[in-house]
Amino acid sequence: MLHAPILCAMKRLKDVDYKILSELFKNARISDRQLAKRINVSQPTVSRRRVMLEKNGLLDYSAIPNLEKLGLEIVAFTFAQVKEGNLRREIEQKITDFYKTCPNVVFATGGRGLGLDIVTISLHGSYSEYAEFARELKAEWGGYVGKQDSFIISLKSDVVPKSLTFRDLIEYLKKMQENEG
């Protein structure tokens, strides 16, 4: 069964909310007037619903740039396993402090899977830049983590079946809510 984390923030989204989110995923710069016209509702309705989505933390604005055109070549998913006996809070603080010095790290969190506890997503201009980053991670985390591996993606790949975008996410969110109800 699909879980609906979106329902934690509010009881249920209305169909108009999904339409607004869907259009904003495609173009976050669209005006409320243009958005209203596109989804066939009034501009005040769009404005009220957008404010509600923002206040409930369901809508935040970010651009998803073309990473390759920005000169980035590597996306690295780095996974690590916390060594037995280490204090979780101490490790979390050390990692948090380290990542504050790494503007190329776009996401880092704890988790579970494959016998690993930490995942980091980082962006790099070249493989050599990635290799230096990996050496820094090992040096910084050495006493705290055992296994550390990365899955490296070249942004210059000829085959990209689906690019990074959130345009299709709204369909998934609708299904989650339908299955919940």
Domain range list for the chain:
6-63+167-180, 74-154
At 129-179, the pLDDT tens digits run 999 998 888 887 777 777 888 999 998 877 777 777 777 777 777 777 777
Ramachandran area for residue 39 (φ above 0: left; ψ -120 to 50: alpha; else beta): alpha
Q: Strands 105-113 and 74-82, how do they pair?
A: unpaired
| Among 50, 25, 17, 23, residue whose Cα is nearest residue 37 | 23
pLDDT score at 86: 56
Which superfamily does CATH assign the domain made up of 74-154 to? Answer: Dimeric alpha+beta barrel (3.30.70.1060)
**Alpha-carbon gap, residue 129 to 131, rounded angstroms:** 5
Is domain 6-63+167-180 classified as CATH 1.10.10.10? yes
Q: Please give the chain's pLDDT, 181 residues, in tens.
A: 334 444 444 457 888 998 898 888 888 889 999 999 999 999 999 999 999 999 988 888 777 777 888 888 999 999 888 776 555 667 777 778 888 888 999 998 888 888 888 888 999 999 999 999 988 888 877 777 778 889 999 988 777 777 777 777 777 777 777 777 6
Helix, strand or coil, per DSSP, at residue 181: coil
